[in-house]
Amino acid sequence: MRPLIGISCCVKAFGVFATPNHAASGTYVRAVMGPIGGLPVLLPAAGADIVAELVPRLDGLILTGSRSNVWPGHYEGPDHAPGTPEDQERDATTLPLIRATVAAGVPLLAICRGMQELNVALGGSLDQRIQDLPGRMDHSTPSDQPISAVRTGKAHAVRLAEGGRLAAMLGVGGEIPVNSLHNQGVRRLAPRLRVEALAPDGTIEAVSAPDAPGFLLGVQWHPEYDWEQDLRSRRIFEVFGEACDGWAAQRRAKAPKLKSDLQVAAE
Ligand SMILES: N[C@@H](CCC(=O)NCCCC(=O)O)C(=O)O
């Protein structure tokens, strides 16, 4: 039986009436059905009220990327510049969901906005436009390139932390090339998080939590865009899937054994 993997949704307006929908990119569904080997379930941005009943049912959680940004009020940041996209319904769901998921030990893979949410949920803060900071690169989506090239192309290298979990997971050391589609970045790293990769300009590109009871990895880039071409992207999903499999086996072992109808009938 495949592990049940929650995929965080954004609230986006669709259709002629711009009706708010809870949505996630199909790239995450394909990654779950592919290299992760799980059963995907989209998690609506329905607020903290769903968290306590949801987490015990999950075998893994993916926090997705999004153009929207974590509301600065969650990390005492300055207001966003006018027009900066936000999604406070998503924040109100993912921040408590992250804390509950990490506490329970459910495997968690945080991607781009998801890594930023992870950092904020655990007490860190963000810079809102790192390209405006002295000495920093522009990590955002170049407007002069087609989105397909940006997604599967490589924008810069990241240096893996020596002896880190990500380097061990990938079986490599030194640098790997990654794509890059973000304006924001980690400012103050949450106390429980450890740097797993850095960009040439010092931007934190991957994090883990050594004291977390389960698998926990955040990456600022997007492995869901290029896992079919990039074996390291694929490996991240495979290792996450193995952790979710293990969690699912533990959960089934603890579940009360319900008798099947046939067993009851045979008594
Ligand atoms: N908004 C944040 C996070 C960026 C991010 O998740 N990018 C993926 C975008 C995918 C899409 O276009 O839907 C930031 O800007 O840092």
Name the residue type at position 36.
Answer: I
Q: With DSSP H G I counted as helix, E B as strand and the rest as coil, what are the percentages for the chain, rounded to 5?
A: 35, 20, 40
Give per-residue pLDDT as tens, 173-225: 999 999 999 999 999 999 999 999 999 999 999 999 999 988 999 999 999 99
Ligand 1 centroid–CA 125 distance in Å is 17
Which pTM does this prediction carry? 0.95
- Active-site entry in 112, 156, 182, 244: 112
Residue 113: helix, strand or coil by DSSP? helix
Give per-residue pLDDT as tens, 24-75: 999 999 999 999 999 999 999 999 999 999 999 999 999 999 999 999 999 9
Q: What is the spatial distance between Cα 180 and Cα 262, in angstroms, rounded to a whole number? A: 54
Question: Tell me, what's the ipTM?
Answer: 0.97
pLDDT for res 264: 78
Ligand 1 centroid–CA 66 distance in Å is 4
Q: Is 224 a catalytic residue?
A: yes
Give per-residue pLDDT as tens, 213-236: 889 999 999 999 999 999 999 999
Q: From 113, 132, 179, give the residue whose CB has the most ligand 1 atoms within 8 Å, as the site to mutate.
A: 113
Helix, strand counts (H, E) of the chain: 9, 13
Residues lining ligand 1, judged by CB closer than 6 Å? 65-69, 112-113, 181-184
How many folded domains does the chain comprise? 1
Q: What is the spatial distance between Cα 199 and Cα 203, in angstroms, rounded to a whole number? A: 5
Q: Which of 154, 142, 150, 232 is nearest to 199 (CA)?
A: 154
- Active-site entry in 139, 156, 182, 222: 222
Question: What's the whole-number mean pLDDT along residues 120-144?
Answer: 96
Give per-residue pLDDT as tens, 73-118: 999 999 999 999 999 999 999 999 999 999 999 999 999 999 999 9
Give per-residue pLDDT as tens, 3-12: 999 999 999 9
Q: What is the spatial distance between Cα 142 and Cα 174, in angstroms, rounded to a whole number? A: 26
pLDDT for res 210: 94
CATH number, position 69: 3.40.50.880
Q: Is 117 a catalytic residue?
A: no
Ligand 1 centroid–CA 183 distance in Å is 8
What Å distances lie between residue 205 and 58, 218, 260, CA to CA? 26, 8, 48
Q: From 25, 66, 88, give the residue whose CB has the most ligand 1 atoms within 8 Å, as the site to mutate.
A: 66
Give per-residue pLDDT as tens, 148-177: 999 999 999 999 999 999 999 999 999 999
Q: Is the pLDDT of residue 258 over 90?
A: no
Determine the structural domain holding residue 169 and report its residue range. 4-266
Q: Are strands 194-198 and 156-160 parallel, antiparallel or unpaired?
A: antiparallel
Q: Exposed, middle or buried, 210 (CB in 10 Å: 0-12/13-18/19+)?
A: exposed
pLDDT for res 132: 98
Give me Rg for the CA atoms of the chain: 19
